A = this chain, B = another copy of it.
């Protein structure tokens, strides 16, 4: 049974691969499993049929027969458990890779997302210019810790894992801001991940959807 995921019919990021279906597409490509995509609009996402799959009205969703999942962390973990390629076989190394998935989503992403979202939700507020440096300093604390831990290694803990996959998609949100470049090993880490053939296939697939949407 080929799993079906949802993605934006016309992604607001204009095909830059920041929509969260990118994580799931990349995971499928890394382990070599086929998948299908059902495109949805912002309006679809607020309808009962979608809310049954994703109670917060977000995407992607994951359907595999009777199983319905949401949250990219859970979906990527599920894919990684189905087939080798994203988690070590050895139990302790596997637990450490899962730790990095949670670290990416619960420790590194929140201050990055707060900084990003304020750029469109509070840019017109009188306090925005004064708050921005505070938020940047807050996310630098996390980046500095991550940079120190990564050091000169290629990946966070041994071979490339689902932890790296999630972390890279989180760090990519800083692209174009100059913030990532303050930590050259983190910038190199993201660049290294983007060279992976599986990343490139996933990126091309989501980009093609956006390009198609512009011709509609």
Q: A92 touching B106 by the CB < 8 A rule?
A: no
Tell me which residues from 139 to 196 in chain A have a Cβ below 8 Å from any Cβ of chain B. 142, 145-146, 148-149
**Set of chain B residues within 8 Å of A96, measured between Cβ atoms:** 67-69
**Set of chain B residues within 8 Å of A55, measured between Cβ atoms:** 103, 145-146, 148-149
- A99: Cβ under 8 A from any B Cβ: yes
Total identical chains: 2
Q: B107 touching A95 by the CB < 8 A rule?
A: no
Q: B102 touching A105 by the CB < 8 A rule?
A: yes
Dominant secondary structure of chain A at its interface with chain B: helix
Q: B122 touching A98 by the CB < 8 A rule?
A: no
CB distance from A56 to the nearest CB of B (A): 5
Q: 1/0 per position for A61-102, CB-CB distance to B under 8 A?
A: 000001111111110011000000000000010011011011
- Distance between Cα atoms of A56 and B109 in the complex (Å): 13
**Set of chain B residues within 8 Å of A120, measured between Cβ atoms:** none
**Set of chain B residues within 8 Å of A57, measured between Cβ atoms:** 145
- Distance between Cα atoms of A148 and B96 in the complex (Å): 35
**Set of chain B residues within 8 Å of A74, measured between Cβ atoms:** 95, 98-99, 101-103
Q: B56 touching A107 by the CB < 8 A rule?
A: yes
**Set of chain B residues within 8 Å of A148, measured between Cβ atoms:** 51, 55
The residue of chain B having its C-beta at the shortest distance from the C-beta of A127 within the complex is B127
What are 28 A-B residue pairs whose CB atoms fall within 8 Å in the complex? A51-B148, A51-B149, A55-B145, A55-B146, A55-B149, A56-B142, A56-B146, A67-B95, A69-B95, A69-B99, A70-B99, A71-B99, A71-B103, A71-B106, A71-B107, A73-B102, A73-B105, A74-B99, A105-B106, A106-B109, A109-B110, A110-B114, A122-B131, A122-B134, A125-B127, A125-B130, A125-B131, A127-B127
